[in-house]
Structure 1
Amino acid sequence: MDKYDVKKARRELYAPPSKDFTVVDVPELRYIAVGGRGDPNTSAAYAHAVEALYGVAYALKFSSKNALGRDFVVGPLEGLWRADDPAAFLTRRKDSWEWTMMIGQPDWITEAMVRSALESVAKKKQNDALGDLRLLTLTEGTCVQILHIGSYDDEAPTLDRLHNRYLPDNGLTFNGDHHEIYLSDPRRTAPAKLRTILRQPVTSV
């Protein structure tokens, strides 16, 4: 049985260089998603959202394999981040951040399959975030991205370079939420070795 892996199927989106920004065209993709607000390091809502996403992602994987004969690798955790003032990301004012945490899904995963997976997970463990989990379709279009290696709190210089040098120098401006893709498991990876894709949808000024 072939196993779908979004990181291999969409390699151009999940393997950017770490030295230079690259421009990519991100097509319509599907995710299971949960939204919230607050510091991801201290927010109970954030922890519940991530737990709910992984629970449902694995339920969908096993359901797809057993019912459809189609297996897939559970994708990395991803996050859309927004704030009223984009400078909040440079100053790391995390209490003011709003987020949508996501895990990508193959295009054959349906609303009905997500509902069934939600019911299955809810029977095993109570989690308030399950009530907010949904199937999300996202088309980001033209994006600038780079691979950040290191602690999440060390992203600021790269974001400053993106916001205040690369975008204006290339006649570009923001066209959507700041998007991060977490290729490393922070529970098992030293902060200095974390690998995170930083992606920003853009449009011409």
Structure 2
Amino acid sequence: MSNSNIELATFGGGCFWCVEAVFQEVEGVEKVISGYTGGQAPGKPTYREVCSGLTGHAEVVQLTFNPQIISYEDILIIFMTTHDPTTLNRQGADVGTQYRSVIYYHNEEQKKIAQGVKQKMSDYYSEPIVTEISPKSIFYEAEEDHQDYYRNNKTQGYCRAVISPKLAKLRQLHANKLKKENA
């Protein structure tokens, strides 16, 4: 990227609609794109293919963030406290490897930070953290109707029942990290 004040972070914690909605509210996060990564199937996967669980891809978000405003460590702490990193291949009713808890690091420094945050957060949970830490792989942007999903569908049942409570938890736990209009 041309701006040295911008970094990427890629991770998945269940349905990408949930993770996207959380990070759209975080100060210093400039862009959030829902997509797929970590699979073995050739070519760009579709939502239907990823949901089948046969491609090996995870539903993820890729963030563009300014580390002078929010650190990678703080981003990962928000991530680890707004989904359940102790359940293997599921978040609530969303079940399958495409919903795995995973951090895709972009460099060795991110790997080191991710390992440290995972260790630190183990005291926060009574069950072991199963979040995978893996090197980044090809990121495929999801179809347009999956971008800004919560913002465009706030009254939809899934948004009200699943995403809204995650946003309430974010606002409670991390109020000091939110964009002013969301605080």
**TM norm structure 2:** 0.30
Structure with higher strand content: 1
For the pair shown, the structure with the greater C-alpha radius of gyration is 1
Normalised TM-score (structure 1): 0.28
